[in-house]
Amino acid sequence: MTESASEPIVAPYVEVALPVPLRKVFTYAVPSGLGGALQPGSRVAVSFSRRKLAGFVVGGRDDLPEGVSRALPVAGLLEPEPVFTPELLRFLDQAAKYYMHPLGEVLRAAAPALPAGAMRRLRADGFLEPAENLPGQRVAHHTTWKVTPTGKETEGIRLGARQKKLMDRLATRESVLLDELRGELNDPRAVVRSLVGRGLVEFEEVEASRDPFFRAPVTRDAPHPPTDAQQLAIDAINEAILGRTGEAFLLHGVTGSGKTEVYLRAIDEVRKAGRGAILLVPEIALTPQLVGRFRARFGDDIAVLHSGLTARQRDDAWQALRRGRVQVAIGARSALFAPVADLGLIVVDEEHDPSFKQDEGFRYHARDMALLRAQYAGAVCVLGSATPSVETYYRANQGRIRLLSLPTRATGATMPDVEIVDLRRHRKGPTGHPLLSGPLHSAIGGCLETGHQAIIFLNRRGFAPSVRCAACGAVAECPACSVALTEHRGQGALRCHYCDFHRAAAMPCASCGSTEQKRIGVGTEQLEKSIEESFPKSRVARLDRDTASGDGVEAVLDRLRSGEVDVLVGTQMVTKGHDIAAVTLVGVALADQSLAFPDFRASERTFQLLAQVAGRAGRADTPGKVILQTYQPDHPAVRLAAQHDYEGFYAEEIQAREEVGYPPFARLVTVRVHAGAEADARGATQLLAETARQHQAVKDGAVQVLGPAPAPLVRLRGRYHYRLMLKSPDRKLLRTVTAHLAARIAQGLPPTHTTLDIDPL
């Protein structure tokens, strides 16, 4: 790709990356009508295999590739400006090479959606109408009234109750949006019109933001003086920003230590320097409180990128960032691709979170790619966590990134006391429920008596994880996946959490026809019901995927913050950075549940979950308490999480990883194969394993081939899944063998579908 990416291409041919599963670019001729109009990063329409596709120009060339006698012309330019900046295009090209993924698919994943109608009305000769003439370009705007007081005195004017309420509201506000009044006034439009008639207010029609992150007004904050540890971290990061050193940092701070304040100060420094910043968070829908803090500090001049945006809103945010009108982008992993002008800082909050790894299509890890993009942009990268991933902490100990520590809570609050409850001894509490032990039951009661709030964590949704026939013992299973169906009592259904197959819970057993059922295990729905029955005066709510549709997440969290909920029961959604002063008790119903996963990171993930959820307790003046219920009280992940001892856990875990040669002491590549028939999936995986073993690096033992083997879920959505893994401490040799396999995969292995996963989780 050309380095002078900001210059128009004057060559007779262009190379175009297309969103097809081929690791190559395609050459097209530049028609006379587009001479000088194409630039690297431009989105164009081209003919490919008897259809029109949208692709991306990645460079120009003076002649045709060897063996090619003619090139089809570019069919048309879809947008007047390039989609990608030079810096972003170079970064994405490198990311595609690292993950051995087709560049066209990488660019499609990173780009905003096409403007509506941009691929329609192709002329018979293959050229497109100019983009501005295409149908579908107009998008209906959702508008509202912006109401402003005229300044006329109301003294001596008789006002109705609703009129007075609106005028009182305007006494402390320069203006108010009609949409903000809908929940407070009956027929606010009529109230506004009546006040306009009396000369007290005036209004103008403006486009309303449907983005939930900007609906409610926020009060601008005045930052508190930082602690000594925060100041050291702020100084180090700001020095790197001003010096444009491109340095990377790990900000390791206990829960409640004030990492967000460090982020805010660093972003403020970047903005003062006229540069831009990106903040990546694990799940944007779970962090409205964090977005609120950024709005309070920087106003609404930030772009929050999330799946709830319309195509128009996303395009508006993209253009605002690209042109520098907005300097800060906040979002989940895909916000890494935001076209921030003159990027100076990337922050990855909760860098350990597995949701930063994309598990379909372009399988990138946003944390690792944040380091790469920062390097290409000459920006500073800050990775933050109370429980860093083992690989990141190892990098810091090796001096490859700089370690900054926040060892105490910023408010001066102490870390919560943690009690481990051995479920082998405490089999059932006063209620008889297996996951509501005596100590946990007593702690909830004490918490409620003092007027405080509690969070109870169980990483398993539904009422019961599986249902067994009481007559013949058959477990109700999904017909398309090799998993048991979960009972959701509120829905009256048994549901598969992978393909969403569901059927009525009351249906007879498929094996014997009996209607008698025995429930196995406990989910959040059942635990919620048990707590409601045990504490009938308490207000109990649940936060999991079943309750999180639409605005459900924010609605539940708002009720918790306002004190309308006494006990919140939930899955790992309740562990994600919530800072609620009245929460003084956290209960973990089954602390060792995730230790059973067939994953060498199971111990690490368990420690992180427990430490993160425990950190929700006692963040204000009242000391917090945590109850960890477990069948494995002596396991290091449980024992050291109870002691808030990350360094102790890391020391044990890194030794275990070194003994067995897993990351960070080796690199991994997983090859995944799936097909409609198990024999096809198994056969293709075996062929790839034999192909890998023919390579000299595998024969010499420098690269290990593990497998082939069935995936943990061998049948998923009606297809059979097999895999093999490559492992080596030598990254170069591992990539050589992987490229050898990629070439074999490119030849085709019908009827299977095969993918490579570099650095799998």
pLDDT in tens, 33-47: 888 889 999 999 999
At residue 68, the pLDDT reads 87
pLDDT, tens digit (0-9, with 9 covering 90-100), for 584-612? 999 999 999 888 888 899 999 999 999 99
Measured N-to-C along each axis, helices 86-98 and 103-110 cross at an angle, to the nearest 10 degrees, of: 130
Q: What is the pLDDT of residues 745-760, one digit of tens each?
A: 999 999 999 999 999 9
How far apart are alpha carbons 707 and 689 in whole angstroms? 7
Pick the CATH number of 228-406 from 3.30.70.20, 3.40.50.300, 3.90.1300.10, 3.30.450.30: 3.40.50.300
- Does the pLDDT at position 383 exceed 60? yes
**What are the structure tokens assigned to 91, written together?**
């970064």
If residue 240 lies in a helix (H) or strand (E), which one and from where to where? helix 228-243
- Give the right CATH number for 143-207 from 1.10.3470, 1.10.10, 2.40.160, 1.10.287: 1.10.10
Which pLDDT value is given to residue 134?
34
Mean pLDDT for the stretch of residues 454-468 = 93
Confirm or reject CATH 3.30.450.20 for domain 13-133, answering yes or no: no
With contact defined as beta carbons under 8 Å apart, do 393 and 404 qualify? no
CATH code for the structural domain at 417-464+521-655 = 3.40.50.300
Question: Quick one: average pLDDT of 424-436?
Answer: 84
Interval 394-417 mean pLDDT: 92
User: What gap in Å lies between CA 359 and CA 342, rounded to an integer?
Assistant: 30
For the ranges 128-132, 612-616, 715-719, the lowest mean pLDDT is seen at 128-132
CA nearest 71: which of 48, 94, 87? 48
Of the ranges 116-130, 350-364, 531-545, 570-584, which one carries the lowest mean pLDDT score? Answer: 116-130
Q: Is the pLDDT of residue 550 over 50?
A: yes
Query: Quick one: average pLDDT of 489-512?
Result: 90
How far is residue 476's CA from residue 462's CA, in Å, rounded to a whole number? 15
CATH superfamily of 667-758: Ribosomal protein S10 (3.30.70.600)
What confidence tier does 132 reach under pLDDT thresholds 50, 70, 90? very low
Q: Which residues of 583-595 are buried (b: 16+ CB within 10 A; e: fewer)?
A: bbbbbbbbbbbbb
Q: Which two tokens stand for residue 375?
A: 């390097």
- pLDDT value of residue 688: 97
* pLDDT, tens digit (0-9, with 9 covering 90-100), for 727-750: 999 999 999 999 999 999 999 999
pLDDT tens track for 46-78: 999 888 889 999 999 999 998 888 999 998 898
Output the pTM of the full model. 0.85
Q: How confident is the model at residue 2 (pLDDT cuts 50, 70, 90)?
A: very low
DSSP-assigned letters across all residues of 102-126: -HHHHHHHHSPPPPTTTT--B-TTS
pLDDT at 140 over 90: no
The domain limits of the chain are 13-133, 143-207, 228-406, 417-464+521-655, 667-758
Calculate what percentage of the chain has a pLDDT beyond 90.
61
Tell me what the mean pLDDT of segment 202-212 comes to.
69
pLDDT reading at 136 higher than 50: no
pLDDT above 50 for 390:
yes
**How many beta carbons lie within 10 A of that of residue 126, not counting itself?**
16
Which residues are registered as beta bridge partners of 672? 723, 755
Q: Are strands 719-728 and 704-716 parallel, antiparallel or unpaired?
A: antiparallel
Percent of the chain residues past pLDDT 70, beyond the cut: 93
Least confident of 517-521, 546-550, 621-625: 546-550
Residue 606 has phi, psi (to 5 degrees) of -65, -45
Residue 269, H or E segment: helix 259-272
What number is the average pLDDT over the span 614-629? 87
Is it true that 228-406 and 417-464+521-655 share their CATH fold? Answer: yes
| Tokens standing for residue 215 | 């609906």
* Joined tokens for residue 139: 């998008």
Report the phi/psi class of residue 41: left, alpha or beta, with left for phi > 0 and alpha for psi in -120 to 50. left
Count CB-CB contacts under 10 A for residue 70: 7
The per-residue pLDDT for 621 is 78
Instruction: Name the average pLDDT for the chain.
Output: 88
- Report the C-alpha gap between 490 and 594 in whole angstroms: 26
The model's pLDDT over 230-248, given as tens digits with 9 standing for 90+, comes to 999 999 999 999 998 889 9
Provide the pLDDT confidence category of residue 256 given band limits of 50, 70 and 90: confident
pLDDT: which is higher, 169 or 601: 601
Average pLDDT over residues 537-558: 82
The pLDDT tens digits for 296-330 are: 999 888 999 887 777 777 888 888 898 888 999 99
Segment 196-209 shows an average pLDDT of 79
156-165, 272-281, 544-553, 632-641: which range is least confident on average? 544-553
| C-beta separation of 378 from 206 below 8 A | no
Which positions ≥6 away from 255 have C-beta within 8 Å? 386, 409, 415, 611, 612, 614, 615, 616, 619
- State the DSSP code for 204: E
The amino acid occupying position 369 is M
pLDDT at 151 over 60: yes
Report the C-alpha dihedral over residues 382, 388, 392, 398, rounded to 10 degrees.
100
pLDDT at 391: 97
